[in-house]
Structure 1
Amino acid sequence: MSDRSYVEKAADSGLNKMLLLKNDPWRYTVRSVLAGMYLTITVFTYWMLVHNLHELVLGKVIASLFFGVGLTIIVFTNAELFTSNTMYLTVSSAEGKTNWLQTCVLWCACYLGNLFGALIVVGLLYGAGAITALAPDHALYDGAAHKVHQSAQVIFFKGILANWIVCLAVRLALRCKEDIAKIVVIILVVFMFLYLGFEHSIANMGTFAISLAGQGSIGYADAWHNLLYSTLGNMVGGALLLGLPFAYINPTERH
């Protein structure tokens, strides 16, 4: 396939997502809820690894490598993740297969579905006693506090970088013909944003909800402060740094 073919593939994916939301909104909602659930259980496991492996030299490396499992699950189960959809719908709108109003509506629907999915998993973890078992000095609580106490500017730019990398992982996976290649690409690329400590709004939903449900020090206003600016940054990273350049550098071939 030519590079142009991958643009068309991404545009068709954006169109299909919009049509699913329009024609079968409940099915689309379930897909977005599932993405939030998958990512939140991955987030919880990530923080457990960070806490339990903190004394190891490669502890953070191992935990960061694991996080790509969440995006892999989402890609392989056709779940709907807000951050990757910032790329897909930008490409489909740039190609004229969807419009920008439809794009905004889908982003909002997906974002809310992801949030609801995150809250479902947090409720399950709480019911299972997994959250109440966390020590007061757990890495998750420290991580959540660090995230919310950054300035708006820092969160915004970290959000741009996070989703630029996430969407790059998805964009590269489009080129992979074998499933094992997709898995390796996604895990290795996603590793970068976790290891560097960038801000992914949907992953943060799970982190903050767990902290709020447990013994964390953050408040609801703190959580929304981070989510506002990390979400805006994620939109810029996925749309302006990946989606639009992806379509622009691979124009329609003219004969």
Structure 2
Amino acid sequence: MSLPDRVIEALRCSVCAEPVSLTGRTLRCERRHAFDLARQGYVNLLHARIPAGTADTAPMVDARAAFLSSGAYAPLAEAVAAAGSAPGLIIDAGAGPGYYLSRVLDEAPDAVGLALDVSAIALRRAARAHARLGAAVWNLWEPWPVADEVASVVLDVFSPRNAAEFHRVLAPGGKLVVASPLPGHLAELGDLVLAVDSRKEERLEAALGGLFVRESAAEVVRTQPFSAAQVRDVVAMGPAGFHLDRDGRRERLEAAAGRDVTLAVSVSTWRKR
């Protein structure tokens, strides 16, 4: 597997910011910085180690892939796909295994996707999630190895929000699609998952409002029974996945099996100021 041409054109060397080209299985810039493609098709552009606990681990990625494939978040994926469908380059910031980006690409036959994530383990799956998808390992809080104004859409689904980079890489008229949890999201699972800040929407506006104007917002809310496997996976795929052996979490996780659980997410669309 390799990277789509449109993705290669958009990428920049993470050392010197020069354009890159693909020769064989290696991305190179004119200054001879080189980055080899992994056999799964993604490229790791990091040149510094990241702190422990930053990237999703293999068990967390496995749990996320299993949970998403169960269809529990299918209504959210449909809402993201409806909001994010557009021709051109679609960048998913914090793409994980590529679940949401691949759904958007299904709705946008003239689009190509770039999955960015700090977890190489997650991008092994993302690189194979869709034929028109390329994947690159990167820390989203750092300036992205992506050219200016090349994206028609940026997706951010439960991921870090680097508003300045969103704004820089979006083309004029481009849109940002953000999915963020609402109060009540997964509330039945208690402290097995992170509580949603009641001021989250206010904080979102504060983070993005200086560079973007919110155009629309839709709420995806439903309550449904989660199987034992779904409960286990939705907890293990998040930040709690780093701490499942603490404070009796595994015992409480088993006790939550079969419980009705609420999905409550806002999907908002923003335009560049």
- Give TM-score scaled by structure 1 length: 0.25
The structure in which a higher percent of residues are strand is 2
Q: Which structure ranks higher in relative contact order (CA pairs < 8 Å, sequence separation ≥ 6)?
A: 1
The structure in which a higher percent of residues are helix is 1
